[in-house]
Amino acid sequence: MNHFLDIHTTAPDDLRAMLDMARQMKDARNGLPKGTLDADQPLKGQMVALIFEKPSTRTRVSFDVGVRQLGGQTMVLSGSDMQLGHGETIADTARVLSRYVDLIMIRTFEEETLLEMAEYASVPVINGLTNRTHPCQIMADIMTYEEHRGPIKGKKVVWSGDGNNVCASFLHAAGQLGFDVTFTGPKQLDPEAEWIELARSKGSNIEIERDPVKAVQGADLIVTDTWVSMHDPESAKERRHNQLRGYQVNEALMAQAKPDALFMHCLPAHRNDEATSAVMDGPHSVIFDEAENRLHAQKAVMRWCLGK
């Protein structure tokens, strides 16, 4: 049984195997109707619980569709359905769910909830997002970069904006897959020092550059994310805009990167805040390939968890 909890806790060879499987499955589906089942149906007869303490569009749809394409069935549970840790313990919930389903995906707030679920579940658990990390998104991002530009090893990735959970998983991937990351953003929103040192300890060049123009020099990929979360209070939103306005990814900033640099954003986006529409819809952007590849990457993750 394999849990998929974070990129830095998953062996590099396993990450590479999942990325290769994702590409193979995507290629195999080319030209097929979207509702078509995968030929081998590795999840036939199996049930997957999809738990959402946090609302979701891409995670919910991509996992639900992915399970169905693999021949399985889903049970979607919201935070209000479960009330995780409020009454029945997370440990007991994990034990009970394990009697009913073959795989659990959880999108939650606190990392401790994910870890406790995995500790006590007797079926594989997948991290669909926590406040601290978002590994499934980065698996899709790596897949997207490599299908457009080849191996990501040795490339320079620039993260512009808030050193959030998606940024954290990029740092994990840098250490595991051998690429470099430059963070550009205000000091108050730096990524966790633990993740910076972890990537550096594995040989990746991790830099912090406050000047975004200097940061993107020689960049192969520029990535950003929303400046505000749907759960942030209004006062926090105004403060974030003031802090991050200088780190908007616009056409002038993209022009400072390599001519063939790609642009990514995990979506949803606030257009003309963290990135301009001209960039999001422009020739460097692969944001919708990135969104599609959540489906294929997560199917590969599920197959790996279940030994399929």
Determine which one of 3, 266, 298, 305 is catalytic: 266
- Annotated catalytic residue 8: no
- Annotated catalytic residue 132: no
The interaxial angle of helices 287-305 and 58-69, nearest 10 deg, is 50
Q: Are 287 and 294 in contact (CB under 8 A)?
A: no
Q: Are 228 and 240 in contact (CB under 8 A)?
A: yes
Report the C-alpha gap between 126 and 108 in whole angstroms.
Answer: 11
Determine which one of 8, 107, 172, 265 is catalytic: 107
Report the C-alpha gap between 287 and 281 in whole angstroms.
Answer: 9
| Three-class secondary structure of residue 74 per DSSP | strand
Determine which one of 58, 134, 240, 303 is catalytic: 134
- Annotated catalytic residue 167: no
Q: Are 212 and 182 in contact (CB under 8 A)?
A: no
- Annotated catalytic residue 200: no
Residue given tokens 């994910």 in the structure block: 114
- Annotated catalytic residue 225: yes
Give phi and psi for 167, each to the nearest 5. -60, -40
Determine which one of 8, 60, 265, 294 is catalytic: 294
Determine which one of 46, 69, 137, 298 is catalytic: 137
- Annotated catalytic residue 294: yes
Active-site residue set: 107, 134, 137, 225, 266, 294
